[in-house]
Each structure stands twice: as C-alpha cells, then as structure tokens.
C-alpha cells in the first residue's frame, strides 16, 4: 500500500512531463516553422546538417530503449507483428490513395509516400501513455519498425514510387543504416551498460529529440518558403487525411483481431503517427526540397492530432469501451 502511495506523485509528475511534451512540441515546431517561413535566410543553412539532426533524433530514441522493450516480441508477438505489418501496409497505400485523390504533383506525392513508409514516430509513445493505451506495446512497435526500416522503407519506395520516380534504393538503405539503425543500436548499448547514468538524463532526451526535429523541419520550411505559398494548403490537407485515416484504420485493425481496448488505442497511434523528421530529411536528401514538405508539415500535424486523440480517449474509459465492444460482438 505504502509503495503505491509513494509512487503516485512520481506517476503524476511523469504524466505532467509527458503532457508538456505532447502539447508544447507542436507549439514549438509551429512557431519555429512560421518564423522560418517569414525569415528563411537564417534557417536555410540547417539543411546542410540534416544527417546530424536525424542522428540526434535516433540516438536519443536508442537511449530510451531497454532490452525488455524487445523481449515483448517473444512474450506477446501477435499484436507486435500485426501492428508493424499493418503500419507498413496501411500507411504507404494510404499515401498513394491520398496523393491520387488530391492530384498531388510528383514531388509532393513522393514526399507523402516517404512519410507513409518510414517507421513510427517517437512521440507516439508519449501519446499512448496519455491516451491510456498499451505503452509497452507502443515502445516495442516503434522499436521494431525502426529496426526494420532500412529494409522496408527503400523496398516500399521502390515498389510504389519506382515506376514514376527514380529511387536510389541501396543509397536510401545505407543512409537509414547510418542515421537510424546505428544510432539506435549505440544508444541501446549505452543504456544497457550505463543505465544508472542514462536514467539521470532521461528527462532531457525528449527535448533533444524535439530540437533535432526542429532543425530538420525549420530548414525544410525555409528552403521551400516560396513553394509553400503555392502548395501549403494542399500539403496540410494531404497530411491531415493521411494521418487521420491512419488512426481510424489502425484502431479498426485492433478491433478486427479482437484485441483489448488499450491495444486498439495503441494500434491507432502507432499506425497513424510516423517519424516526420526522418521523412522530411530523407525526402529532401533523395528526391527534392519540395518532397520534404509533407514530412515537415507532419511534424506539426501529427502532434496536434495526437493531442486531440489524447483528449478524446481520456474521456472514454477503457472499461466502457471494452464493454461496448463485447456488446457489439455479441449482437
């Protein structure tokens, strides 16, 4: 009893810290993007450091991981496997559908496809925590999708964009190994062997990741300031449709396999929320500055929709949602 009482303030503090990240992150990115749009010159040089920013983002993610995060694949393989497969099927196909439905130009279409083909975003873990989802599943799905991304992302881009746009599959795979896989593995290695020291800096890591994402997004916005005047509205619409439909189909995937409500909520988050900073950086490097725009916009949109999702889910108890599911199934 006493341990529960003692841990309550720590849980409340964790919840407050997570809430700050979810609500402050889109505000910081949005304000920074507006400034970069209005005064692009100081931010354009940031595009030269995209790989550094991506490495920072992924290294900080690796530092937050632990071996038990991967052990869950063995303990509860079904939701992890289904979730990761669904993510790499639903989001790329949704990107193709939305691009065709809105008649996006080739650069924006390939940028949206890149957004749909990258692994889950690190903010999804915080959103899952605040939305009362299955946090352990969220962390594991993000970890697994990140680890397999050097294979899956180039494969999807070659399959779905290769017929219309030249795709450097090997170059993309090697870049993902350098900027995603290696930093995550090094971060995980340090977490295992320097756990006590890493625990002390854990509260700072999300903010370092946010700064890294800001570096990618602000540079992309500054480099595309003039283009945004012409295509800004359609990009926002495309990213919102892609994201919201991802949430809906992700949640329905969990329902289809009759998973618990907490798992369904996490499926929606993990499938609908992509690594926007990685998407923007990779699209700008391998395609064109304009192709980086969907990822840059998603860095704002995904966190705003995440905050809305948290508000909706926190007002819906897990027990009532599960009871509603059982009644629907019974009928």
DSSP-H helix ranges across 257-330:
261-272, 276-286, 293-314, 318-330
Please, which residues bridge with residue 120 across strands? 274
* pLDDT, position 57: 81
Q: Is residue 43 part of a domain?
A: yes
Instruction: Answer whether 139's CB lies under 8 Å from 319's CB.
Output: no
Which residues constitute the domain of residue 310? 13-314
CATH number at residue 310: 1.20.1530.20
* pLDDT, position 15: 54
Q: Is residue 320 part of a domain?
A: no
Q: Is residue 141 part of a domain?
A: yes
Q: Is residue 73 part of a domain?
A: yes
* pLDDT, position 330: 41
- DSSP assignment, residue 42? T
* pLDDT, position 8: 47
107 to each of 114, 138, 232, 324, how far by Cα in Å? 11, 31, 13, 44
* 5 CA to centre of own chain: 34
Instruction: Answer whether 85's CB lies under 8 Å from 250's CB.
Output: no
DSSP-H helix ranges across the chain:
2-38, 50-64, 67-75, 77-101, 106-117, 123-130, 135-161, 169-176, 182-193, 195-201, 205-223, 225-256, 261-272, 276-286, 293-314, 318-330
For residue 289, which phi and psi values (nearest 5 degrees)? -55, -40
Q: Is residue 319 part of a domain?
A: no
**Residue 120 in 3-state DSSP?**
strand
Q: Is residue 285 part of a domain?
A: yes
The Cα–Cα gap between 20 and 27 comes to 10
The Cα–Cα gap between 53 and 319 comes to 41
Q: Is residue 7 part of a domain?
A: no
* pLDDT, position 227: 80
Instruction: Answer whether 314's CB lies under 8 Å from 290's CB.
Output: no
The Cα–Cα gap between 92 and 146 comes to 15
Q: Each residue of 238-290: pLDDT tens digit?
A: 999 999 999 999 999 999 999 999 999 999 999 998 888 889 888 888 888 88
pLDDT tens digits in sequence order for the chain, 331 residues long = 334 344 445 455 555 555 566 667 777 878 888 898 899 899 989 888 888 888 888 888 788 777 777 777 788 889 999 999 999 999 999 999 999 999 999 999 999 999 999 998 777 877 888 788 888 888 889 889 988 999 999 999 988 876 567 677 888 888 888 888 888 888 888 888 888 888 888 778 777 877 888 888 888 888 888 888 877 789 999 999 999 999 999 999 999 999 999 999 999 999 998 888 889 888 888 888 889 889 888 888 887 888 888 888 877 766 655 555 544 434 4
* pLDDT, position 32: 87
Q: Which residues are CB-neighbours of 303 under 8 A, at least 6 positions away?
A: 22, 25, 26, 29, 123
**Residue 39 in 3-state DSSP?**
coil
Instruction: Answer whether 166's CB lies under 8 Å from 287's CB.
Output: no
What is the rounded end-to-end Cα distance, in angstroms, of the chain?
A: 41
* pLDDT, position 17: 57
The token pair that represents 208 in the structure block = 């370092």
Please, which residues bridge with residue 274 across strands? 120
In the chain, how many domains are there? 1
* pLDDT, position 172: 87
Q: Is residue 52 part of a domain?
A: yes
The token pair that represents 47 in the structure block = 């595009």
């Amino acid at each position: 009893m006493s341990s529960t009482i003692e841990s309550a303030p720590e849980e409340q503090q964790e919840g407050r810290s997570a809430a700050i990240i979810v609500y402050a992150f889109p505000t910081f990115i949005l304000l920074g993007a507006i400034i970069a749009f209005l005064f692009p010159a100081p931010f354009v040089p940031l595009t030269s450091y995209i790989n550094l920013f991506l490495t920072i983002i992924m290294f900080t993610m690796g530092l937050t991981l632990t071996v038990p995060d991967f052990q869950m694949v063995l303990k509860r393989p079904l939701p992890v496997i289904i979730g990761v497969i669904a993510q790499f099927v639903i989001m790329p196909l949704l990107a193709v559908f939305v691009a065709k439905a809105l008649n996006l130009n080739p650069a924006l279409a390939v940028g949206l496809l890149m957004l749909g083909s990258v692994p889950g975003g690190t903010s999804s873990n915080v959103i899952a925590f605040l939305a009362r989802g299955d946090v352990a599943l969220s962390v594991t799905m993000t970890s697994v999708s990140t680890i397999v991304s050097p294979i899956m992302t180039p494969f999807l881009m070659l399959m779905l964009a290769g017929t219309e746009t030249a795709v450097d599959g090997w170059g993309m795979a090697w870049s993902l190994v350098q900027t995603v896989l290696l930093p995550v593995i090094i971060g995980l290695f340090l977490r295992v062997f320097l756990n006590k020291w890493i625990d002390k800096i854990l509260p700072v890591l999300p903010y370092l990741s946010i700064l890294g994402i800001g570096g990618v997004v602000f540079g992309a916005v500054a480099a595309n300031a003039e283009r945004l005047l012409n295509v800004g509205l359609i990009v926002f619409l495309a990213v919102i449709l892609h994201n919201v439909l991802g949430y809906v189909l992700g949640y329905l995937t969990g329902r289809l396999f009759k998973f618990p409500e907490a798992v369904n909520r996490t499926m929606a988050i993990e499938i609908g929320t992509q690594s926007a900073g990685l998407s923007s950086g990779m699209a700008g490097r391998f395609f064109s500055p304009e192709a980086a725009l969907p990822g840059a916009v998603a860095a704002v949109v995904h966190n705003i929709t995440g905050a809305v999702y948290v508000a909706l889910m926190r007002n819906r108890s897990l027990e009532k949602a599960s009871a509603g599911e059982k009644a629907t199934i019974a009928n």
